[in-house]
Structure 1
Amino acid sequence: MQDPTLLLRDIHQPPAPPFWPPAPGWWLLAGALLLVLGIVIALRWRRTRRRRQIAAIFDNALDEAATPTAEVAAISQLLRRAARRIDPEADRLQGDAWLAFLNRPTGSARRKRRANEAEGRFAGEPGRLLLEGAFRRKVDPADVAALRSLARARFQQWMLGR
């Protein structure tokens, strides 16, 4: 029934495609990922550079102050200028209204949580120093250093628009 001269062989599968070079779709995917990675790195670099520039503006203005009293006056001036970015009328606030504005949380929900932890920091001694320190004859440099760190954080937050 079978012809002995007819020799049947098993079906042979073609070889698997080589790993290299990849198909054009993989090249497009790799290019898109590199583009996204480049954009993320550029944005972070830009944000870091902007943060450093803003910190330098604050620090340079305070380094020019000759006395702790002048430093408090410079801090007040910088904060009032930055406050205009949040509310155009904020630089005209006086006394407790100004301190309440300084303590007001700004930004997204996560940042608001952090701001709530820091809420009221200007209400105590640093706030009083900010209001009256520029008019005092003597100001304790340690109090100015504490005010400086609080004011620098708030200045950066307002200037970065958070």
Structure 2
Amino acid sequence: MIRDASPADADAIAALYNPYVRETVITFEYDEVSVEDMGARILKVQEQGLPWLVSVEADAVVGFAYAAPYRPRAAYLHSVETTIYLAQGQSGRGLGRALYDELLTRLEATPAHTALSLVAVPNDASMGLHQAVGFREVGVLREVGRKFDRWIDVAYLQRDIHHSA
């Protein structure tokens, strides 16, 4: 089941996300996110009229995805940056595809014109998921992140959001 997230999901979302912070270069955050901060992040996205979704199985959050403003400058108003995470061990079952499909459908009802996603590379699973839902790679920024004493490249991916009407 995919539904809108709420601040009540902050504990589960933080528990899903923080292993990525501690153990991977997939996120560039160094410090774990508190439940309070995660709840504030959820509200901030939703207060901007953008979707933050969770995928739930057997009452457990197994994934989340959201879209946030890409940049604060006025000309970027119609561009969003998408983010998706699945609980470790949950990939390869179609959850990411279903969650991303719903996120992109929800974005059609917003002013968003373009969705961007930034992927620390190499990450074949994430690149494959993004390509499967219509993103295309538009460039790679070399050595723009540093975590765990190594430099990390970031691929930029882009997808048009088609509006009905």
Q: What TM-score, normalized to structure 1?
A: 0.24
Q: Which is richer in strand? A: 2
TM-score by length of 2: 0.24
Select the structure with the greater relative contact order (CA < 8 A; seq sep ≥ 6): 1
Largest Rg, 1 or 2 = 1
